[in-house]
Amino acid sequence: MANIPNLGDLQKELKEFFAQKYGQNVTFAQPEAEGTDAGPATTEQPVNIQFDLKPEELEAYLNEYVIRQDETKEILATKICTHFNRLKLPDADEVVGNIKNNIILIGPTGVGKTYLIKLIAKKIGVPFVKGDATKFSETGYVGGDVEDLVRALVHEAKGSIQLAQYGIIYIDEIDKIAASGTVIGPDVSRTGVQRNLLKLMEETEVDLQAPHDLASQMESALQFQRTGKIERKRINTKHILFIVSGAFAGLEDIIKQRLNQQRIGFSAVDRSSHVENGSWLRHVKAEDLIQYGFESEFVGRLPVVAVLHPLSKDDLYQILTNPNSPVIIGKKRDFQAYGITVDFDAAALRLIAERAYDEKTGARGLVGVCEKILMRYEKKLPSTDIAQFRVTRAVVEHPNQELDRLLTEAAIARFESRFQSDNGIRLALDPEARAALIDAARASGKTPDALGRELFKDYGHGLKLVQLEALTVPKAAVEDPVGYLNRLIREFYEKQKDGSR
Ligand SMILES: Nc1ncnc2c1ncn2[C@@H]1O[C@H](COP(=O)(O)OP(=O)(O)OP(=O)(O)O)[C@@H](O)[C@H]1O
Ligand SMILES: [Mg+2]
């Protein structure tokens, strides 16, 4: 969007447009200027929340999908269940000073942050939106942006403001709006984003109509034409649960430094070296986040901190073998779309896990590694009649070579089955004959089935003469098809002669 007109300009333009179209006697609403009755946020009855999940049930559900991250699963399951169950208390709206359990998730890339939240949103069935904090800073912060997330909740709630007011807003890459303390320009806007988010996380009312949303402004203008009233709808954010997350690169150093300073005199460095790499984050405190570049008020609105851990090779393997694994399920479905069944050997999965681990992008690497191995299979196999294949260790190690092998095998099978349907005779090449056919095909630049059809073109007729219904084809027949068939025929007639004597 290049040029978003401000509300004033917009109204002026709309006014001109209406005047042109309908004449001067058509008046135009001035929502801001005329203090038309905006009314309270909502006058509907409080929503009847159908929520009776208990923390342990939600945790058990997460365990079915998410490998490790036990502590985070526990925290999320507990805090989210409590949040929604508490809203059912009859006086939920009245308690003054309610502290909302907004949550911050900290952990490296690809270890389950987004995945956990998506699973939870799906399970508990409240409206859920996901935003990305980088979007806010990129635009240099436009007032509407963070509030758009709240409006999106209404959309997710199929228009119900009531339901939306009990939704979850998840903001990823929150670390990207930390002020770095060195640059001036972006820092100002980042701090600005933090302040605006802060307001939402606490309690504020958001206009359902975005000032930059032309369509809804138009709609309200039309509504004023019809009714002479302006109905302003607002969404209260008091009960909306906010979950933010980020990888927080560099946060470990801050924590390390603080711990080392605290331990001075206790041979700090020696001790700290015992802390395993990646587990510093466990010790994160609000002050570390503040030093990282967050306003203390912002950190204060995020009382629940959960840290996710890097995944080991074995964790990655577990993710692959998990029956709910979206990686393997997704890949299987890709092939299923062409009617092809794929299976994975355990040894292949181990190797995929190892490769993904080396990419250092957590479980994210798994998808990439699988894609890289199976991409050409996904392209080639749909045009063959291969309906099934196994991903073995060999496939992972030499995908191209194995694919070629698979394709030639399929070409031979195609030749055999076509021969049978054309002639009613079952041809089966023995292993040596197959190898010979493949070699000959490669040498002549033909496909094995094309070459097979050429070499054995007389066999349909010939084998009928000798009254054979099936033939196991040896290497000799591939090397000299005519000679071999002639021998068969000769032998057949000699036997006949012997028999008639
Ligand atoms: N602990 C885990 N158990 C099972 N699957 C996982 C786990 N972590 C990640 N995955 C898989 O990897 C995918 C990517 O993970 P996810 O989107 O949760 O990463 P993230 O932690 O949000 O990373 P980023 O910081 O890059 O956004 C998930 O969709 C899921 O399939
Ligand atoms: Mg994520």
- Asked whether 309 lines ligand 1 (CB < 6 A), one says no
Count other Cβ atoms within 10 Å, centred on residue 374.
21
Each residue's pLDDT tens digit, 23-40: 655 554 444 433 334 444
Q: Percent of the chain, pLDDT > 90?
A: 63
Which conformational region is residue 353 in: left (phi greater than 0), alpha (psi within -120 to 50 degrees), or beta?
Answer: alpha
Lowest mean pLDDT segment, chosen from 50-54, 88-92, 148-152, 316-320: 88-92
- Asked whether the predicted pLDDT for residue 15 surpasses 70, the reply is no
Per-residue pLDDT at 217: 74
Question: Stretch 489-501: mean pLDDT, rounded?
Answer: 87
Per-residue pLDDT at 40: 45
Domain 36-203+238-307: give its CATH superfamily. P-loop containing nucleotide triphosphate hydrolases (3.40.50.300)
Q: How far apart are CA 363 and CA 65, in angstroms?
A: 13
Q: What is the mean pLDDT of the chain?
A: 85
Q: 41: closest CA among 261, 169, 204?
A: 204
Q: Assign 191 a pLDDT band (cuts: 50, 70, 90).
A: confident
Per-residue pLDDT at 210: 76
**Relative to the CA of 319, which ligand 1 atom is closest?**
4
Each residue's pLDDT tens digit, 115-155: 999 999 889 888 999 998 888 754 544 545 788 899 999 99
- Asked whether 326 lines ligand 1 (CB < 6 A), one says yes
Per-residue pLDDT at 10: 62
Tell me the two tokens of residue 474.
């040896």
CATH topology (fold) of 313-397? Helicase, Ruva Protein; domain 3 (1.10.8)
Per-residue pLDDT at 407: 93
Q: From ligand 2's centre to the CA of 79, what distance in Å?
A: 20
Per-residue pLDDT at 52: 85
Each residue's pLDDT tens digit, 372-383: 999 999 999 999
Q: From ligand 2's centre to the CA of 306, what distance in Å?
A: 14
- Asked whether the predicted pLDDT for residue 449 surpasses 50, the reply is yes
Per-residue pLDDT at 141: 44
Per-residue pLDDT at 428: 95
Lowest mean pLDDT segment, chosen from 185-189, 258-262, 361-365, 407-411: 185-189
Per-residue pLDDT at 34: 36
- Asked whether the predicted pLDDT for residue 304 surpasses 80, the reply is yes
Q: Assign 424 a pLDDT band (cuts: 50, 70, 90).
A: very high
Q: From ligand 2's centre to the CA of 198, what distance in Å?
A: 21
Do residues 280 and 249 touch, judged by C-beta distance below 8 A?
A: no
Do residues 55 and 78 touch, judged by C-beta distance below 8 A?
A: yes
Q: Assign 186 a pLDDT band (cuts: 50, 70, 90).
A: low
Beta-carbon neighbours within 5 Å of ion ligand 2:
113-114, 172
Please report which ligand is nearest the Cα atom of 316: 1
For 246, the enclosing helix (H) or strand (E) is strand 241-246
- Asked whether the predicted pLDDT for residue 3 surpasses 80, the reply is no
Q: Assign 386 a pLDDT band (cuts: 50, 70, 90).
A: very high
The pair phi, psi for residue 156, each rounded to 5°, is -60, -30
Q: Which residues of 291-330 are buried (b: 16+ CB within 10 A; e: fewer)?
A: bbbbbeebbebbebbbbbbbbeeebbbbbbebeebebbee
- Asked whether the predicted pLDDT for residue 421 surpasses 70, the reply is yes
Which residue, judged by its Cα, is nearest atom 15 of ligand 1? 110
Each residue's pLDDT tens digit, 246-301: 999 999 999 999 998 887 655 544 454 445 555 788 899 999 999 999 999 999 99
Q: How far apart are CA 43 and CA 233, in angstroms?
A: 10
Per-residue pLDDT at 31: 43
Q: From ligand 1's centre to the CA of 61, what distance in Å?
A: 16
Which residue, judged by its Cα, is nearest atom 9 of ligand 1? 112
For 104, the enclosing helix (H) or strand (E) is strand 103-106
- Asked whether the predicted pLDDT for residue 494 surpasses 60, the reply is yes
Per-residue pLDDT at 24: 58
What string of DSSP letters covers 16-44? Answer: HHHHHHH-TTS----TTTS------S--S
- Asked whether the predicted pLDDT for residue 490 surpasses 90, the reply is yes
Of 20 and 88, more confident: 88
Per-residue pLDDT at 89: 80
Q: From ligand 1's centre to the CA of 376, what distance in Å?
A: 25
- Asked whether the predicted pLDDT for residue 19 surpasses 70, the reply is no
Q: 131: closest CA among 173, 72, 194?
A: 173
Q: 197: closest CA among 177, 179, 212, 167?
A: 177
Per-residue pLDDT at 138: 46
For 347, the enclosing helix (H) or strand (E) is helix 346-359
Per-residue pLDDT at 468: 93
Per-residue pLDDT at 181: 59
- Asked whether 113 lines ligand 1 (CB < 6 A), one says yes
Per-residue pLDDT at 277: 52
Question: Stretch 470-476: mean pLDDT, rounded?
Answer: 96
Q: 377: closest CA among 342, 330, 328, 414?
A: 342
Identify which of 114, 307, 320, 359 to mutate to test ligand 1's pocket (most ligand atoms within 8 A of the CB): 114
Each residue's pLDDT tens digit, 338-367: 999 999 999 999 999 999 999 999 999 999
